[in-house]
């Protein structure tokens, strides 16, 4: 039986749910509901594919299979067993079960996993009339997520997290997830005609994500997903959506982003990553100290992820770096500056209070996105730039 309609759930890092929701709406999806750490929406088969290919800031895309209350393992077992698992998982399917539990009566993850797995097996036995499942086929990963005794059962369409674009095999010491990098570019409202510099670019993630946005290149175009191997997901749908995405890449763009770092190894890695991502023609990387930052452009953006100084021994050095950044950035006083850091005292060290501040999470690290808005360019400048 072909399943036609789905309720999807795109998970997101705390603080960027609204960015993910905007991306989902821009892709044309309906009934979008924003909650902590996730965005739900209605979709069809093609929408599953489109979501995985195009969502830049989401962590994963799940199919929501059920939602129910459970404060006992019996209630959990019965709730999971109610799902028509054979509509999703074939007899040879591999179906690992993962679990999350927050502020719930059922808190043992291993017990939640084993009882949910047993419930899935019992339900599949009814359809396939067998006592044993070899699980040698494609992967159908199940997530049982419990929050305050409310259970949501999800099927993972993505496989590896969506931040795995396929271009970053190597990184520097303080990697920024590709999904968060894309969200920061979105929050800054950067557009391709605006000059953009990352003066502490590390492995180049912020600039590569900006280039992918500028070229309108789907971030998931060069990777694989679990759901493309599913028996009820026609290969033709994937082929059509991938070809459509390839045809939507802009060929007539003429923007150049700039990335600098004092570490030559980081610059080498950044160039390799940009090459793998197919955006090397849009980014100029150079070994250069932030203390030498300058630009001939009257208006532009600085967007950067400097070291945080998480170890006490690094704090003084990092605060000195922030002070140097403040001295150099202020010389570009008609530019806008955007800085993400976990350092609570950034503004004091930098020497200027941000226009706006947004709390975000880089993995498990609580960070702040400091936004310093420069003056708006005159309308004439914007119009001339857009015609480049």
pLDDT digits (tens, 9 = 90+) for 266-303: 999 999 999 999 999 999 999 999 999 999 999 999 99
Residue 71 lies in a domain: yes
| 42 vs 312 pLDDT, higher one | 42
Regarding whether 140 and 40 lie in a shared domain, the answer is yes
Q: What is the pTM of this model?
A: 0.94
Regarding whether 316 and 259 lie in a shared domain, the answer is yes
Regarding whether 195 and 63 lie in a shared domain, the answer is no
The pLDDT confidence band at residue 4, using thresholds 50, 70 and 90, is: confident
- CATH number, residue 363: 3.40.50.150
Alpha helices in 159-261 (DSSP H): 178-188, 205-214, 235-247
How far apart are the C-alpha atoms of 70 and 78, rounded to whole Å? 9
Residue 40 lies in a domain: yes
Regarding whether 302 and 198 lie in a shared domain, the answer is yes
Regarding whether 195 and 135 lie in a shared domain, the answer is no
Predicted confidence (pLDDT) per residue in 16-54, tens digit: 999 999 999 999 998 999 999 999 999 999 999 999 999
Reply yes or no on whether the pLDDT at 84 is more than 60: yes
Regarding whether 243 and 371 lie in a shared domain, the answer is yes
Q: For residue 309, what pLDDT is reported? A: 74
Q: Which residues contact 313 (CB under 8 A, 6 or more apart)?
A: none
Structure tokens that stand for 15 in this block: 């603080």
Reply yes or no on whether the pLDDT at 245 is more than 50: yes
Mean pLDDT of the residues in the chain = 94
The conformation of residue 34, written as its DSSP 8-state character, comes to E
Regarding whether 215 and 323 lie in a shared domain, the answer is yes
Predicted confidence (pLDDT) per residue in 145-183, tens digit: 999 999 999 999 999 999 999 998 765 555 799 999 999
How far apart are the C-alpha atoms of 28 and 242, rounded to whole Å? 17
Residue 324 domain boundaries: 178-219+230-386
Q: How many domains does the chain have?
A: 2
HEC string of 43-73? EEHHHHHHHHHHCCCCCEEEEEEEEEECCCH
Residue 96 lies in a domain: yes
Reply yes or no on whether the pLDDT at 314 is more than 90: no
Q: For residue 377, what pLDDT is reported? A: 77
- CATH number, residue 124: 3.30.2130.30
Regarding whether 183 and 151 lie in a shared domain, the answer is no
Regarding whether 147 and 81 lie in a shared domain, the answer is yes
Residue 166 lies in a domain: no
How far apart are the C-alpha atoms of 378 and 111, rounded to whole Å? 62
Among 39-43, 84-88, 359-363, whose mean pLDDT is lowest?
Answer: 359-363
Residue 283 lies in a domain: yes
CB 73 within 8 Å of CB 106: yes
Regarding whether 10 and 81 lie in a shared domain, the answer is yes
């Amino acid at each position: 039986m072909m399943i036609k309609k789905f309720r999807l759930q795109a998970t997101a890092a705390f603080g960027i749910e609204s960015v993910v929701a905007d991306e989902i709406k821009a892709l044309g999806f309906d009934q979008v509901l924003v909650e902590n750490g996730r965005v739900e929406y209605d979709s069809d088969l093609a929408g599953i594919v489109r979501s995985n290919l195009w969502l830049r800031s989401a962590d994963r895309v799940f199919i929501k299979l059920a939602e129910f209350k459970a404060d006992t393992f019996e209630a959990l077992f019965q709730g999971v067993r109610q799902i028509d698992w054979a509509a999703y998982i074939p007899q040879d399917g591999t179906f690992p079960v993962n679990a999350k539990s927050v502020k719930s009566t059922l808190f043992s993850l291993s017990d939640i996993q084993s009882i949910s797995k047993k419930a899935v097996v019992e339900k599949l036995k009814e359809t396939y009339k067998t006592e044993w499942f070899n699980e040698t086929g494609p992967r159908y990963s199940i997530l049982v997520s419990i929050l305050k005794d409310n259970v949501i059962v999800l099927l993972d369409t993505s496989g590896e997290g969506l931040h795995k674009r396929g271009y970053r095999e190597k990184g520097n010491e303080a990697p920024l997830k590709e999904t968060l990098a894309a969200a920061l570019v979105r929050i800054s409202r950067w557009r391709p005609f605006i000059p953009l510099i990352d003066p502490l670019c590390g492995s180049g993630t912020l600039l590569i994500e900006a280039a992918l946005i500028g070229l309108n290149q789907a971030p998931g175009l060069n990777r694989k997903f679990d759901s493309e191997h599913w028996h009820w997901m026609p290969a033709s749908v994937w082929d059509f959506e991938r070809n459509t995405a390839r045809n939507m890449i802009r060929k007539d763009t003429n923007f150049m982003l700039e990335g600098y770092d004092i570490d030559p190894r980081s610059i080498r890695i950044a160039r390799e990553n940009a090459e793998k991502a197919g955006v090397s023609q849009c980014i100029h990387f150079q070994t250069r100290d932030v203390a030498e930052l300058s630009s001939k452009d009257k208006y532009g953006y600085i967007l950067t992820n400097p070291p945080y100084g998480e170890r006490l021994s690094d704090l003084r050095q990092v605060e000195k770096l922030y002070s140097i950044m403040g001295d150099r950035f202020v010389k570009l006083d008609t530019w806008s500056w955007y800085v993400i850091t976990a350092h609570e005292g950034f503004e004091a060290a930098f020497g200027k209070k941000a226009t706006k501040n947004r709390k975000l999470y880089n993995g498990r690290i609580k960070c702040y996105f400091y936004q310093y808005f420069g003056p708006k360019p005159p309308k004439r400048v914007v119009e001339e730039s857009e015609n480049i």
